[in-house]
Amino acid sequence: MKSLNLSATRTISTGSGVTVAVLDSGSFPHPDIRKNLLAGSDQTSSHHRDGRSDNDGHGTRMAALIAGHGRGTTRGIQGIAPSAKVLPVVITADGRGHADLMARGVAWASSQKAQIINISGVAGPGFELQDAIDEALDDDIVVVAAVGNTSSDAIINYPAAFDGVLAVGATGRDGDYSSSSVKDEKVQICAPGVDIISAQPPDRYGSATGTSDSTAIASGAAALIRAKFPNLSAKEVVHRLTATADDIGPPGRDDECGFGRLNIVKALTADVPPLEGGGNASSAPTSGASSAAGAVRPEFASPGAAAASEPASSNNGWLWGGLAGVIAAVGVVVGLVLRRRRT
């Protein structure tokens, strides 16, 4: 089957018992995700909102891709890990990425014992954000982030550029690298990111393209692994994903899709030797990757006739403008780094 073969993953793992924090624009209680949606946090407001609202729609899309439970077996969006829980954390109110709000969101999600943090967006660099990411990794949390879209980014942004973060790019409908995805040596894996259907507030559906969707799909896959192998460390979860990826570009790791294209069934079933000495999760896989013919695309249940006329949505989303902030911050960051080192 030319897909992610989610029908096969359902018999192995559905993500039960795993909580994924979705740091985004919030997650609306769409009928397809309502049962899996926890009370979260709004880092942009002082009114103690719980994250279960979404004026943009981007976060709701991501939540449904990760853990949508659909409406029965024939309607709605069934995400990659339909039994996982979503912890919505609002970190943007204006459609842009802010490193300070993102850092606060990461810290809050860590305090709530989320096992996976999904960041389908980008921001500029910052010590506060790096410290929050480092602490999340130290707490054995899998952090998954988008590398960025070529429509608005020329280079990989943050937090995907930080060591230890699973940096996700996009494949197209043909299963190969999508030119919409930023290339960089830090890219580790690619997942479907072109014409992806997902939920939109309040009860609609739409199609979009971008590494946001790829990141959510990879986070869903991480949730399946954490449920199937609860004793694996976060580094080993990332290693299992990269070690079983299908090598679709130049032999070995490359700047387009890193170790290759996400293969969820193989990640759940392959015999993957552990990292030697508990090394960095971004090191070369110890299990050979094989190529799988055909396209890869999530197998979502039909949204149903009522949603068929809904317009497609744009996936430019809330954070795809980080390059200018990165360039503007380079001088400041270099100076701070030098000062910190001297100190």
Residues of the chain above pLDDT 90, percent? 72
pLDDT, residue 3, reads 61
pLDDT, residue 140, reads 98
pLDDT, residue 143, reads 98
DSSP string covering 50-104: -S---SSSHHHHHHHHHH-EEETTTEEEE-SSTTSEEEEEE--SSSS--HHHHHH
Average pLDDT of span 72-94: 92
Per-residue confidence band for 300, with pLDDT thresholds at 50, 70 and 90: very low
**What is the C-alpha to C-alpha distance for residues 25 and 52, in angstroms, rounded to an integer?**
10
Per-residue confidence band for 311, with pLDDT thresholds at 50, 70 and 90: very low
Q: What would the pLDDT profile of 102-143 be if each residue is shown by its tens digit?
A: 999 999 999 999 999 999 999 999 999 999 999 999 999 999
Per-residue confidence band for 47, with pLDDT thresholds at 50, 70 and 90: confident
Identify whether 45 is a catalytic site residue: no
pLDDT, residue 233, reads 98
264 three-state secondary structure? helix
Give pTM, 2 decimals. Answer: 0.85
Identify whether 46 is a catalytic site residue: no
Identify whether 24 is a catalytic site residue: yes
Q: Is the dihedral of CA 12, 26, 92, 210 positive or negative?
A: positive
Cα dihedral 192/172/209/326 (nearest 10) = 90
How do strand 85-90 and strand 69-71 relate by DSSP bridges?
unpaired
- Residues 25, 30, 41, 58: which is the catalytic one? 58
Residue 338 in this model has a pLDDT that exceeds 50: no
Q: What would the pLDDT profile of 320-336 be if each residue is shown by its tens digit?
A: 444 434 443 444 343 44
Q: What would the pLDDT profile of 190-223 be if each residue is shown by its tens digit?
A: 999 999 999 999 999 999 999 999 999 999 999 9
- Residues 27, 212, 214, 313: which is the catalytic one? 212
Residue 143 β-bridge partners = 117
pLDDT, residue 303, reads 52
Q: What is the mean pLDDT of the chain?
A: 85
Residue carrying structure tokens 């994924």: 20
Residue 301 in this model has a pLDDT that exceeds 60: no
User: Which of 137-151, 261-275, 300-314 shows the lowest per-residue confidence on average (mean pLDDT)?
Assistant: 300-314
96, HSE (Cβ side, Cα atoms, 13 Å):
11
Average pLDDT of span 139-152: 95
Per-residue confidence band for 253, with pLDDT thresholds at 50, 70 and 90: very high
Find, among 169, 149, 147, the residue nearest to 157 by Cα. Answer: 147
pLDDT, residue 189, reads 98
Q: What would the pLDDT profile of 256-286 be if each residue is shown by its tens digit?
A: 999 999 999 999 999 999 987 654 444 444 4
Neighbours of 257 (CB within 10 A): 31
pLDDT, residue 48, reads 82
Alpha helices in 168-255 (DSSP H): 211-228, 234-243
Question: Between these two residues, 244 and 284, which has the higher pLDDT value?
Answer: 244
**What is the C-alpha to C-alpha distance for residues 169 and 145, in angstroms, rounded to an integer?**
9
Q: At 229, list the tokens.
A: 């192998």
pLDDT, residue 278, reads 55
- Domains contained in the chain, CATH given: 6-342 (3.40.50.200)
